[in-house]
Amino acid sequence: MTPITKIVALFLTSAILWILITVPLWATAFPRSPLVIIGIAPGLIIAVAAAITIGWVLAKTDAAHNKIVAALEERAQRDPLTGMLNKEAFITHLEVAFARAQRSEKPFRVLFVDVDRFKDINDFHGHRFGDAALVAIAARLRSVLRSADIAARYGGDEFTIIVEPDEGDTLDAITARISRAFETPVDIDHNGLRESFPVTVSTGFSRYSDETTSVDALIEEADERMYDAKKRNRKTVSHPGAAGMTPRAFHGGRPVRSALMMASLLRQPCPGAATRPPSYSALDWSL
């Protein structure tokens, strides 16, 4: 029984008690007189009216309270910058998916998506620009995911996704969509201006199986695969069994303008350059 129901029941009980007490008294004082009804009617009407009024007010208050609580709970599960689920909420969803998979043996995947050279973006353009970039990257990522996919900002420049592939949309198709989504620059709103900025991501994933022992094991494997992709060749996807395989790059080298924007051009000293005519060369370091 809710507090509101208890209060309304209390007032209705009071009205019944009022009748039980006052009727005998008025009947004794005024036997066979209509004054008995007149005597008990005001109290009864007041009690019932008070019960209805208080119940209505408390119902409105309770609804508003529940709405505020729901909003606070929702906010507690969201990353304040990107609006995606936060790490804690992601772990909760992952535990639910893990328990469901143990019952139904329906496999699922955990994807870790990391923004390449994000530290360079922060160092070269500032943290406010980096925050704006994360907002744009999160929006681009959400645009290629299905409604059933559960995406979160795991921390920093790492995003995580729970995926349950089906026959119409395989994991390869999903990871390919993610990679293709960043073939074109993302639009970053910063200081009242919109700038197109080149961004690439590296992705690693793990899959649930009968041998999976825990949620932590899935997270650790996906995280390791993601870093494996970054070490071997950025802009790639690393998956279980990929060790020793040639990385699959989803798009080629960046143009010089992209390198300038990403602050990834380095000056390389050349011994003996003072005795030779000046010249320039461009090297692609995929580290």
Residue 229, Cα to own-chain centre: how many angstroms?
A: 24
- Judged on CB neighbours under 10 Å (0-12, 13-18, 19+), 27 is middle
CA-wise closest residue to 251 among 171, 183, 166: 183
Judge whether 157 counts as a catalytic residue. Answer: yes
Asked if 249 contacts 136 with a C-beta cutoff of 8 angstroms, the reply is no
Sign of torsion over alpha carbons 221, 227, 230, 232: negative
Catalytic one among 157, 172, 210, 216?
157
Rounded Cα distance between 222 and 156, Å, is 16
Is the CB of residue 163 less than 8 Å from the CB of residue 108? Answer: yes
Question: CA 236 from chain center: how many Å?
Answer: 24
Residues 6+ apart with CB under 8 A from 206: 109, 110, 217, 218, 219, 221, 222, 225, 240
DSSP 55-90: HHHHHHHHHHHHHHHHHHHHHHTB-TTT-SB-HHHH
Cα three-residue angle 47-53-59, rounded to 5 degrees? 130
Q: Give the phi and the psi of residue 116 in degrees, each rounded to 5.
A: -70, 135
125-136: burial string, b at 16+ Cβ within 10 Å, e else: beeebbebbbbb
Task: Give the pairing type, strands 150-155 and 186-190.
Answer: unpaired
Q: Catalytic positions, please?
A: 157
